[in-house]
């Protein structure tokens, strides 16, 4: 709900010309984004793409950080040098915090970066205690999770990254999102195989396909893959069957998608489905869920209002910090309460 409300607020800001650049929605994909990230521990690494607002919210990124970034504020994570969810969080070695690397590319290059992060963490864990930071030995072995679109799984960068992770038995879990389109290219013109998870057969790693709008099913499959990766059994791929319910970005009216397809997927909205499950199993009442809806909506609006009033970057500094070095501080975002317990284990 929070992911959806943050994006709804962004749409309002976009229409007011306060968002700089494009606005990319994850409408219809919030369920898989949240449920996959939920299978991680707080100290793991995530490499979300533009459709993974839910993963960022799950790992505890404060919504204010997202609004700042989308409006290119000088207070934002990339200080107005970059946009949307291109954020980075590199915590100190012993901290009980996630590593977050935003989209370095939509089209596959993030897989080898994710593999590198997990491989680096494995090498650090093998260092003698005297060479490690306080608290580092208490952290569970790091698992990296990267999300990737169906279109991106056709690229060479994706293949190279996956093969490398498989051969090196890297603790990497890749979430391949079949959301039916890559911009206007339908899935049938993207793959000659029936299911996106079958891509992984070529790398010799475990793979499974799951109903991406069933949050509990997504969580179960992903958790299994995360647990085996953490135990040293190597990389895996989860294919999620879902639907991009808006155009590629706000400027795209997706006239190339048949209306019947959109109507069909509307019935399978992940939030509505999970709500039904929670009420049926008496985990929550309709009233409680209405309250959560109202609270998250108000929270998103309040965070947006804070960001609107913050300053743009100082023009005198625009040439600084564009590339590494040059007084570029280690980037961090503010983290708030997340579903993870204080000791970093999942709730």
> Given the rule CB under 6 A, which residues bind ligand TPP?
51, 106-107, 149-152, 177, 179, 181-183, 244, 248
In angstroms, give the least distance from the CB of 1 to ligand TPP.
Answer: 21
Pick one of ligand TPP, Mg ion, none as the site partner of residue 171 (Cβ within 5 to 8 A by kind).
Answer: none
Residue with the two structure tokens 């970093």: 344
- In angstroms, the CA 230 to CA 91 distance is 20
Rounded to a whole number of angstroms, the minimum distance from the CB of residue 149 to ligand TPP is 2
Contact 151, 183 (CB under 8 A): yes
Could you say whether residue 149 binds Mg ion (CB under 5 A)?
A: yes
Select the binding partner of residue 183 from ligand TPP, Mg ion, none (C-beta < 5 to 8 A, by kind): ligand TPP
- Region binding Mg ion by CB under 5 A among candidate stretches 28-36, 65-73, 149-157, 267-275: 149-157
CA distance 267 to 35: 19
Side-chain half-sphere of 248: how many Cα atoms within 13 Å?
Answer: 14
Farthest-apart Cα atoms in the chain, separation: 62
DSSP class of residue 39 equals T
Among Mg ion, ligand TPP, none, what does residue 248 contact (CB within 5–8 Å per kind)?
ligand TPP
Residue of 172, 174, 238, 179 whose CA lies nearest to 210: 238
Angle at 217 between CA 214 and CA 223, to 5 degrees: 135
Q: Write out the two tokens for 74.
A: 């000088």
Please, what is the minimum distance in Å from the beta carbon of residue 182 to Mg ion? 4
Total interface residues for Mg ion by CB under 5 A:
4
Tell whether residue 63 is a contact of Mg ion (CB under 5 A): no
Q: Which of 32, 150, 211, 241 is the binder for Mg ion (CB under 5 A)?
A: 150
Write down the least CB distance from residue 177 to Mg ion, Å: 6
30 binds, among Mg ion, ligand TPP, none (CB under 5 to 8 A by kind): none
The count of other CB atoms within 10 Å of the CB of residue 19 is 21
Going 317 to 321 to 326 to 328, the CA torsion angle's sign is positive
Residue 102 contact, options ligand TPP, Mg ion, none, Cβ 5-8 Å cut-off depending on partner type: none
87 or 307: CB nearest ligand TPP: 87
CA distance 164 to 158: 10
Residue 33 near Mg ion by CB under 5 A: no
Shortest Cβ distance from residue 195 to Mg ion (Å)? Answer: 14
273 binds, among ligand TPP, Mg ion, none (CB under 5 to 8 A by kind): none
The structure tokens listed for 173 are 């879990």
CA distances from 189 to 48, 63, 99, 180, 194 (A): 25, 36, 35, 10, 12
Nearest distance in Å: CB 50, Mg ion: 11
Exactly one of 43, 112, 179, 213 binds Mg ion (CB under 5 A); that residue is 179
What does the angle CA 82 – CA 83 – CA 89 come to, to the nearest 5 degrees? 75
Distance of CA 96 to the CA centre of its chain: 19
Given 50, 87, 182, 209, the residue binding Mg ion (CB under 5 A): 182
Is residue 304 left, alpha or beta, with left meaning phi > 0 and alpha meaning psi from -120 to 50? alpha
CB-closest chain residue to ligand TPP: 149
> Per CB under 5 A, which of residues 158..177 are in contact with Mg ion?
none
> Considering the complex, what minimum distance in angstroms separates the CB of residue 107 from ligand TPP?
5
136 vs 150, beta carbon nearer Mg ion? 150
The CB-of-260 to Mg ion minimum distance in angstroms stands at 19
Return residues touching Mg ion (CB under 5 A).
149-150, 179, 182
């Amino acid at each position: 709900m929070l992911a959806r409300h943050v994006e709804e607020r962004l749409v309002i800001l976009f229409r007011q010309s306060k968002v700089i650049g494009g606005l990319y929605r994850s409408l219809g994909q919030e369920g898989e984004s949240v449920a996959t990230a939920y299978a991680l521990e707080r100290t793991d690494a995530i490499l979300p793409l533009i459709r993974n607002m839910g993963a960022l919210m799950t790992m505890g990124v404060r919504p204010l950080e997202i609004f700042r970034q989308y409006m290119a504020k000088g207070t934002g994570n990339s200080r107005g040098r970059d946009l949307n969810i291109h954020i980075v969080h590199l915590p100190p070695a012993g901290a009980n915090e996630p590593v977050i690397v935003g989209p370095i590319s939509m089209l596959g290059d993030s897989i080898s970066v994710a593999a590198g992060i997990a491989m680096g963490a494995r090498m650090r864990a093998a260092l003698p205690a005297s060479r490690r930071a306080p608290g580092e030995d208490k952290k569970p072995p790091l698992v990296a999770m990267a999300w990737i679109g169906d279109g991106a799984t056709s690229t060479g960068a994706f293949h190279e990254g996956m093969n490398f992770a498989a051969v090196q038995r890297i603790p990497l879990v890749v979430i391949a999102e079949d959301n039916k389109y890559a911009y206007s290219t339908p899935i049938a013109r993207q793959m000659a195989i029936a299911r996106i998870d079958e891509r992984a057969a070529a790398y010799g790693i475990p793979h499974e396909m799951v109903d991406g709008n069933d949050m509990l099913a997504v969580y179960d499959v992903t958790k299994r893959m995360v647990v085996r990766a953490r135990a040293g059994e190597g990389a895996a791929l989860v294919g999620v069957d879902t639907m991009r319910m808006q155009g590629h970005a706000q400027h795209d009216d997706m006239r190339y998608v048949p209306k019947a397809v959109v109507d069909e997927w509307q019935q399978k909205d992940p939030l509505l489905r999970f709500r039904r499950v929670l009420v049926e199993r008496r985990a929550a009442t309709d009233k409680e869920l209405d309250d959560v809806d109202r609270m998250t909506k108000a929270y998103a609006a309040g965070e947006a209002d804070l960001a609107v009033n913050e300053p743009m970057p100082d023009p005198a500094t625009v040439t600084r910090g564009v590339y590494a070095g040059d007084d570029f501080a280690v980037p961090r975002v503010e983290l708030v309460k997340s579903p993870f317990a204080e000791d970093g284990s999942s709730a």
